[in-house]
Chains A and B, each alone.
Chain A
């Protein structure tokens, strides 16, 4: 199993550009989520999905869009990039949305918005 994979590893954007961060998992997990990591702030939840076709907002959803058309994939779209979105983005998955389940994290995408 590859686990949770994310592409790209690094990305530089200009303000106003759009892009999609890719996330895929091969563990047949129902639950997937996106977090952003900023220094001194830990990780904050952006969006999550409890299954194909079902998504919901997390703590910091503004400026981001998600969809879940398959169990395996959960892309994160930046609609119009802003410098405040400079961060490291992590995708995670778990077997279900039960609160006690371990979440498996991808290696991250480091995004810089100029």
Chain B
């Protein structure tokens, strides 16, 4: 069984500040981990994914995430927030024989203040 916990349903930052969105996972098999972003009234778009090639993963729009097996974490960061980063972010896990089935966290709404 797999599960994902996103700490903080709402995160608020100022424009130019560091963005840190937390994700912890549980998996009985080596996990594949994903971050998706959802802009208002749109579908989900992949930001980045971890597939065991490198623990530090760089994605689109300046985001990156680091896989830490010892902490079962995959936190998403961006050095400097832009107003356009305001959206809902989802962490998801798959792996083993899950046949592409994604297990999602609850989501974190990011607000960026001018």
Contact = CB atoms under 8 A, between A and B. Distances in A.
Interface stretch (B45-53, B65-73, B76-84): B45-53
Contacts of A35: 102, 104
Interface string B8-41: 0100000000000000000000001010100001
Given A40-B106, A102-B46, A58 B100 contact: no
Interface residues of B, number: 28
A96 B100 contact: yes
Given A99-B95, A99-B100, A102-B49, A41 B106 contact: yes
B23 to A, nearest CB: 11
A24 interface: no
Given A43-B102, A99-B95, 19 more contacts: A35-B104, A40-B9, A42-B4, A42-B105, A43-B90, A43-B104, A44-B104, A45-B102, A48-B99, A50-B100, A56-B99, A92-B44, A99-B94, A99-B96, A99-B99, A100-B51, A101-B100, A103-B46, A108-B42
